[in-house]
């Protein structure tokens, strides 16, 4: 990671987070704003402790996870019970992360909230016919 401090943690299954960070880097050159973590081979307790450690060491105030009922989200919810200044965004996608890293907002919560709206708006279904 470059000298830029991570503004958010992206955490999920397999290579999800690393792939999202790489895509953000390729498109914007600002991948260092995201710290990518994988829950691979970790228990829920281990994920929670690891996430807490990374939040503290990075200073990140936003956590993006992949799945609503996934282990990353469950661990983040447990960790954020007493980390009230950290915002959790579930269901991360690339448009959302791009919006977040390009945000000029001073507030991590406002940047995350705007990014979530952008991520929702980017989901579109084309074609097909009803059965």
HEC states along 25-39? HHHHCCHHHEEEEEC
> What does CATH list as the number for 8-121?
3.40.50.510
pLDDT at 2 over 90: no
DSSP tally for the chain: helices H, then strands E: 5, 4
Q: Could you say which DSSP state residue 43 is in?
A: -
Give me the chain's average pLDDT, please.
94
pLDDT tens readout for residues 21-34: 999 999 999 999 99
0.85 surpassed by pTM: yes
Does 40 or 4 have the greater pLDDT score?
40
Distance CA 75, CA 70 (A): 9
For residue 4, the model assigns a pLDDT of 52
* Percent of residues, the chain, with pLDDT higher than 70: 97
DSSP state of 81: T
Residue extents of the structural domains in the chain = 8-121
pLDDT tens digits, one per residue of 35-57 = 999 999 999 999 999 999 999 99
pLDDT for the residue 131:
75
How much is the average pLDDT of 63-74?
Answer: 97
Residue 91 zone, left/alpha/beta (φ > 0; ψ -120 to 50; rest):
left
Other Cβ atoms closer than 10 A to 109: 13
């Amino acid at each position: 990671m470059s000298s830029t401090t991570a503004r958010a943690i992206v955490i999920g299954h397999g290579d999800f987070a690393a792939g999202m960070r790489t895509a953000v880097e390729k498109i914007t050159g600002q991948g260092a704003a995201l710290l990518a973590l994988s829950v691979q081979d970790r228990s829920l307790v281990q994920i929670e402790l690891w996430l807490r450690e990374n939040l503290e060491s990075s200073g990140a105030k936003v956590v993006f996870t992949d799945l609503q009922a996934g282990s990353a989200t469950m661990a983040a919810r447990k960790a954020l019970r007493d980390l009230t200044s950290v915002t959790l965004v579930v269901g991360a996608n690339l448009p959302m992360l791009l919006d977040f890293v390009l945000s000029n907002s001073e507030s991590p919560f406002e940047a995350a909230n705007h990014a979530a709206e952008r991520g929702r708006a980017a989901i579109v279904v084309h074609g097909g016919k009803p059965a």
